[in-house]
Amino acid sequence: MTKPCTRHGSATEALSKALTQFYPAAGRLKNNFLITDFNEGVPYAEARVTGRLSDFIERTDNVEAMNRLLPCRPFRNIQDPTTSQLAVQVNIFDCGGIALALCFFHKIFDATTVYAFLNSWAAFSRGSNGEVPNPGLLGASSRLFPPIESMPENAAMKSLFFNDGRRKMTKSFMFDANAITTLVLKTKSKSLEHPSRALALSAFLWKHAIRASRSVSGTLKPSILFQPVNIRPKLKPQLPSYSIGNMFGLAISLSNPVGKDIDLSELAYLLREATESAPNDPQVVLQGFVIMTEQFSHVEEMVSNGDAECYLLSNWLNTLDGNEDFGWGKPTLFSIPGIDSQNREMRNLLYLKNARQYRAIEAWVSLSEKEMGFLERDAEFLAFASPNSYVDKSKI
> What does the pLDDT look like over 36-69, one tens digit per residue?
888 888 999 999 998 888 877 776 667 777 888 8
pLDDT value, residue 244: 79
300 pLDDT band, cuts 50/70/90, is low
Q: What is the mean pLDDT of the segment spanning 4-8?
A: 44
Identify the CATH number of the domain in which residue 276 sits. Answer: 3.30.559.10
Is 194 in the same domain as 343? yes
**273 is in which domain, residue-wise?**
155-395
| 8 Å CB contact between 280 and 234 | yes
**Mean per-residue pLDDT over the chain, rounded:** 80
pLDDT at residue 1, rounded to an integer: 40
pLDDT band, residue 76 (cuts 50/70/90): confident
* pLDDT confidence tier of residue 391, bands split at 50, 70 and 90: low
Q: Which amino acid is at 292?
A: M
**268 and 376 both lie in a single domain:** yes
Of the chain, the end-to-end C-alpha distance in Å amounts to 10
Residue 221, C-beta contacts closer than 8 angstroms, at least 6 positions apart: 213, 214, 306, 307, 308, 309
Q: Is residue 3 part of a domain?
A: no
Q: Does 292 lie in the same domain as 257?
A: yes
Residue 372 pLDDT greater than 80, yes or no = yes
Instruction: Pick the range with the lowest mean pLDDT from 43-52, 76-85, 87-96.
Output: 76-85
Q: Are residues 96 and 166 in the same domain?
A: no
Q: For residue 54, tell me if it sits in a domain.
A: yes
Total-model pTM: 0.86
What pLDDT does residue 381 have? Answer: 96
CA distance 272 to 238: 21
Q: pLDDT tier at 2 (50, 70, 90 boundaries)?
A: very low
What pLDDT is recorded for position 81?
66
Domain end residue (candidates: 92, 114, 142) = 142
Q: Choose among 96, 91, 88: nearest CA to 65.
A: 91
Q: Same domain for 239 and 282?
A: yes
What span, in angstroms and rounded, lies between the C-alpha atoms of 130 and 22? 12
In the predicted model, is pLDDT for residue 7 greater than 50? no
Instruction: Give the model's confidence band at 170: pLDDT under 50 very low, under 70 low, under 90 confident, else very high.
Output: confident
Residue 149 domain flag: no
Give the pLDDT of residue 289: 54
Helix (H), strand (E) at residue 369: helix 369-375
User: Looking at per-residue confidence, does 370 or 131 come out higher?
Assistant: 370
For residues 156-176, give the mean pLDDT.
Answer: 74
- The values of phi and psi at residue 322, to 5°, are 65, 30
Residue 205 and residue 129 in one domain: no
Nearest CA to 244 out of 116, 106, 145 is that of 116
Question: For the segment 326-369, what is each residue's pLDDT rounded down to a tens digit?
Answer: 888 888 888 887 776 666 667 788 999 988 788 899 999 989 88
Single-letter residue type at 59: R
Task: Among 99, 116, 142, give the residue marking a domain's end.
Answer: 142
- The H-or-E segment that residue 46 falls in is strand 44-49
How many structural domains are present in the chain? Answer: 2
Q: What is the DSSP letter of 31?
A: T
The whole-number pLDDT of residue 279 equals 60
pLDDT value of position 52: 85
- The residues that bridge with 35 in the sheet, in sequence order, are 29
Confirm whether 150 is domain-assigned: no
What pLDDT is recorded for position 90?
A: 92
Backbone φ, ψ for residue 92 (5° rounding): -115, 120
Residue 31 has pLDDT above 80, yes or no: no
What lies within 8 Å, CB to CB, of 141 at 6+ separation is: 245
pLDDT at 196: 95
Q: How many CB atoms lie within 10 A of CB 24?
A: 22
Query: Does residue 148 sit within a domain?
Result: no
Q: What pLDDT shows up at residue 218? A: 87
Which span out of 62-76, 216-230, 294-308 was modeled with the highest average pLDDT?
216-230
* Under 8 Å between Cβ of 132 and 239: no
pLDDT of residue 186: 94
On whether both 308 and 346 belong to a single domain, the answer is yes
Banded pLDDT at 264 (limits 50, 70, 90)? very high
CA–CA distance, 36 with 34 (Å, rounded to integer)? 7
Yes or no: say if 349 and 253 are a contact pair by the CB < 8 Å rule: no
Assess if residue 118 is contained within a domain.
yes
For every residue of 81-113, which 3-state class applies, written as one string? CCCECEEEEEEEECCCCEEEEEEECCCCCCHHH
Domain edge (last residue) among 74, 108, 142 = 142
What is the pLDDT at residue 358? 84
176's enclosing H/E stretch is none
Nearest by Cα to 15 from 109, 99, 120: 120
**Whether residues 115 and 183 fall in one domain:** no
Residue 197's pLDDT band (cuts 50, 70, 90)? very high
Higher confidence at residue 223 or residue 184? 184
The residues, any chain, with a CB within 8 Å of residue 28's CB and separated by 6 or more, are: 35, 36, 37, 40, 81, 82, 83, 84, 85
Cβ-based neighbour number of residue 125 at 10 Å:
23
Pair type for strands 348-354 and 86-93: unpaired
Three-class DSSP category at 188 = coil
Q: With a cut of 50, say whether residue 6 has pLDDT above it.
A: no
